[in-house]
A and B are shown apart, each in its own frame.
Chain A
Amino acid sequence: MLRTVVAIIKKEFHQVLRDPMMLRLIFVMPIVQLLLLGYAITTDVKNIDMAVYDFHRSERSREYIRSLSAGDYFKIGSSDMKLTESDIEFLKNKFRSILVIPNDFSENITNFKPVKVGYVVDGTNANSAAVALGYAGVITRNFNEKVTGFKMPIKMKEKRLYNPEAESVYFMVPGIVAVLITMITISMTSMAIVREREIGTLEQLMVTPITTPAFILGKIIPYAILAYLEMSVALLIGILWFNIPFAGSWLLLYGLSFIYILTTLGLGMFISTMTKTQQQAMFFAWFFSIFALLTAGFFTPISNMPESVQYLTHLNPLRYFMTIIRAIMMKGASIDILYPEILALCFFAVALFTLSWIRFSKRVK
C-alpha cells in the first residue's frame, strides 16, 4: 500500500514538474499574488483630488485650506474655472471633491457663528467617497477647535491593539495566504484527477493492482505538499518583505492548516466526481473558490453583510480558517480562544473528506 502510494506520488510530481513552465508558475504565482495584493490593497484612501473655490480669499480661509492639505489626505488643486465648468472636470475624474468657501467665512468665524462650507463629493467609488467625507469632517472639527477655542468637554481616549500602525498589509497577507491555499488545492486536485479520466489513463491505472485508496492518496498528497510549500513561500515573503509580525505559534498554524487542507482536498475530490472534463472541473473549482473568497470576510468584515448572507457564511470553511490565521498571526491567539473555529473546521474536514472519499470510490468502481 505505502509503496504504491509513494509510486503514484512520484508519478504525480513528475507529471507536474515535467513542464518547466508549470514549475515556474507554481512559485511565481504566490509571489506575484502577494506582491500585487500587498501593494494594491490599500483600503486606506489618500491624495483625494479636491478643487477649491475660495470666495473669501482671506488669511482665515487659506488657513482652513492649509489644514485640509496638511497630511496626504487631500491634494488641493486651485480652481480658476467657473463653477459650472467643474461639472465636466468631475466627469473626467480630474477631481473627486469640490470645496466651496463662501464670502462670509471669517466674519462668521470671528463672531463665533456657524459657517456653512459647501462640499461636493464624487460618489462613484462609494468607499473613497465615504472616506473623503470622514476625513473632511475630522479635519474641520480640529480646525474649529483651534480657531474658536470651543472644546468638546467629553473626550475619547483611543487605544488600538494588534495593528496600531494601521498597515493594511498586516491584515491582508494572512488573508491572501488562506485564499492561495484554497484556490491551489481545490482547482489542482480536481483537475489532476479528471485529467486521467479525460485522456483515458484512468482505465489504464485501474487495470493495475493499485487499490482505490492508494490511488486517491497518491493523487492528493502531492497537492497537500504543494499547498504547504506555497503557504511557506507566501508567509516568508510576508515576513521578510512586508515585515508583517507573527504574534502566535507557528506550530499551531501549520497544524490547523492541515485540517483546512483536508477540507479543500476533499472539495477538490468531490468536484472531480461530478465532472468529466478538466474545463468542467476548473469551472466548478472556481465557482466554489469565488463563493468561498467573497463570503470569508477577506475584503470586508462579515458583520457588514446582511443577516441572510451572514448565515450563508457559516457554510464556508474558508471563513473559519481566515479567522484562525489572522488571529494567530496578528493577535497571537491560542487554542482556548480559537476552539469554536477549530471545531467547525474539523467538522467540515471530516464530513467533506469522508463524503468525497466514499463518492469517489464508488465512481471509480
Chain B
Amino acid sequence: MHKIYNIASKEVRHILRDVRSLVIAILMPMLMTFLYGYAINLDIKNIKLAVLDFDQTLESRELSAKFFNSGYFVPSMQRPDISDPEYVLKTGDASAVLTIKSGFAEAVHNKKEFELGLLVDGADANTASAISSYSSIVLAEYVKSNLPVNFEIPGVTLSQQVLYNPDLKSSHFFVPGLIAVILMMISALLTSITIARERETGTMEQLLTTPVTPREIIIGKVIPYIALALIDGFLILAFGVFHFGVPFIGSTMLMLIFGLIYITAALSLGIVISTLVKTQQLAMLTALLVTVMPSVMLSGFIFEIKNMPIVLQTITQFIPARYFIQIIRGVMLKGSSIQVLWIEAAFLIAMTVGLLAIAVKRFKLKIG
C-alpha cells in the first residue's frame, strides 16, 4: 500500500511538474464541449439562398421574403449570374438558387399551376435534403396564406410532440457522449503513454530493480489518471449542465458508479496497449486507433449505430463506450433507472472484467 502511494505520488509529481500538459488536459474537455455545443449543430439553419426573380412583382418578392423570414434561409452575398446560375453554387456563395420565372403573379391570381425552379448544391447530402424539405414547407405556407380565410386544407395534419429534448438542442445529445470520449482519451491514451515513456527512456528497468512489484507500479501509475479523468468528467458535466442547460434528471450515484466501471475498462485497454508498444509515438497512434477513434465513431456518439451496415453494428458491440453512452444518456436526459438499463450495464461490466483480466495477464507476461 505504502509503495503504491509512493509510485502514485511520483506520478502526480510528473503530472504537476508538467504544467502545460495539465492545462491542456483541463482545457481540452472545455474546448470540446464548447465547440460541440456551439459549432456542431446538426439541424441545418442559415442556408444561403440566391434568388433569381424574373417576375419582379409584389407576389414574387413576397414569396422570397417568406423564404428569408422562415429562419431556415439567409440571402446570399453574391447575386447569381443570369447566364450561369450554377456559378454561385460552385464558389460556395450560395447553397441553393431559387428561380421565379415571369408569370408567377399572374398564376397566383388566376389560380393556375406554376412551377418554380430550385437548383441545389447536393454535395452535402444532409444539407441538400434539409433544403428540399424546408423549401417545400415554406412553399406550402405561402400557398396556404393565399387561400380564402375560412378554407382549410383537407387531409392529415400531424400534431407533433418531441420528448426529452423539445428544442432539439444538439448539446443535450453531445454532452453525455463527450464525457465518454474524454474519459476514454484521458484513461487509455495517457496511461499507455506514461508506461511507454518509462520503457522508452529506460526508467522502467530502474523501477523494476526496486522492491516494488510490477502490480504496484501499475496501480500506482494508474490512480492519478483516474483522478484526472474524473475531474475532466465533472468539468464537462458542469459546463454542460450550467452553461448549455443540459438536463440531469436521473441518479448521480448511478452515473458515478458506471463512470468508475467505464474508467476501469479504459485503463485496462491503456495497459494492454502499453505492453504491445515500445515508444510513445507508437503508443499514441495505437491508442488513437483502437480506443479513441472507435469511441468517437462507433459508439453512437455522433452517428447512429442503427444506420450503420450490419458488420459495423456487430463491431460496435465490442466497444465499451457504446454501452456507457447509452447509460449516461438514459440517466441524464431521461432519468432512466437500472431496471431499464440493466442490459447495457451487464455488457459494460462483463467487458470491464474481461479487459482487466487480459491487462493483468499481459502485464505479468511482458513486464513482470
Chain A residues proximal to chain B, CB less than 8 Å: 19, 21-22, 25-26, 28-29, 32-33, 36-37, 39-47, 64, 88, 90-93, 109, 112-130, 133-134, 136-138, 140-141, 143-145, 147-148, 150-164, 166-168, 170-171, 187-188, 191-192, 195, 198-199, 274-280, 282-284, 286-287, 290-291, 294-295, 299-301, 303-306, 309, 323, 326-327, 330-331, 333, 337
Contact = CB atoms under 8 A, between A and B. Distances in A.
Nearest to B110: A153
Given A166-B128, A323-B92, A282 B123 contact: no
A144 to B, nearest CB: 3
A284 B260 CA distance: 27
B159 A117 contact: yes
A327 B92 contact: yes
Given A43-B125, A275-B20, A156 B135 contact: yes
Nearest to A118: B159
B281 A22 contact: yes
Contact of B140 (A123, A128, A152, A167): A152
Contacts of A326: 123
28 contacts: A25-B282, A40-B297, A44-B129, A113-B154, A114-B155, A117-B157, A117-B158, A128-B304, A140-B157, A148-B154, A154-B139, A155-B115, A156-B115, A158-B119, A158-B132, A159-B118, A160-B121, A161-B122, A163-B124, A199-B200, A280-B20, A283-B25, A290-B32, A291-B31, A294-B36, A305-B38, A331-B89, A333-B91
A137 B42 contact: no
A-B CB proximity, top 6 nearest: A144-B155, A123-B165, A160-B122, A127-B42, A166-B125, A112-B154
B318 interface: no
B173 A152 contact: no
Contact of A156 (B108, B116, B126): B116
Contacts of B336: 91
Nearest to B122: A160
A91 B326 CA distance: 11
A295 B133 contact: no
Interface stretch (B211-219, B231-239, B305-313, B350-358): B305-313
B149 interface: no
Contact of A287 (B24, B45, B143, B158): B24
Contacts of A124: 164-165, 172-173, 329, 333-334
A37 B170 CA distance: 20
A123 B118 contact: no
Contacts of A123: 162-166, 168, 172
Given A161-B121, A162-B121, A299 B307 contact: no
A151 B140 CA distance: 11
B163 A144 contact: no
A171 B124 contact: yes
Interface string B261-302: 000000000000000111111101110110001100110001
A64 B157 CA distance: 12
A42 B298 CA distance: 12
Given A117-B159, A124-B165, A279-B193, A168 B126 contact: yes
B224 to A, nearest CB: 13
A166 B190 CA distance: 40
Contacts of B158: 116-119, 136-137, 140
Chain B CB within 10 A, most for which of A43, A138, A151: A43
Contacts of B170: 126-127
Interface residues of B, number: 117
A19 to B, nearest CB: 6
Contacts of A28: 289
A129 B304 CA distance: 12
A109 B282 CA distance: 66
Interface in B321-365: 326, 329-330, 333-334, 336, 340
B166 to A, nearest CB: 6
B153 interface: yes
Contacts of B285: 22, 25-26, 29
Contacts of B284: 187, 191, 278, 282
B123 A36 contact: no
Contacts of A122: 162-164
Contacts of A118: 158-159, 161
B102 interface: no
A79 B136 CA distance: 32
B160 interface: yes
Nearest to A312: B39
Nearest to B197: A279
A275 to B, nearest CB: 7
B2 interface: no
B90 interface: yes
Given A124-B164, A155-B115, A305-B41, A117 B156 contact: yes
Contacts of B25: 283
B81 interface: no
A309 B38 contact: yes
B155 A156 contact: no
Contacts of A129: 162, 165, 168
B28 interface: yes
A36 B293 contact: yes
B40 interface: yes
A294 B46 contact: no
B368 to A, nearest CB: 22
Contacts of A116: 157-159
Interface string B58-92: 00000000000000001000000000001001111
Q: Which of B194, B279, B340 has the most CB of A within 10 A?
A: B279
B112 interface: yes
Chain A CB within 10 A, most for which of B38, B74, B127, B160:
B160
| Most chain A beta-carbon contacts within 10 A, residue among B132, B136, B293 | B136
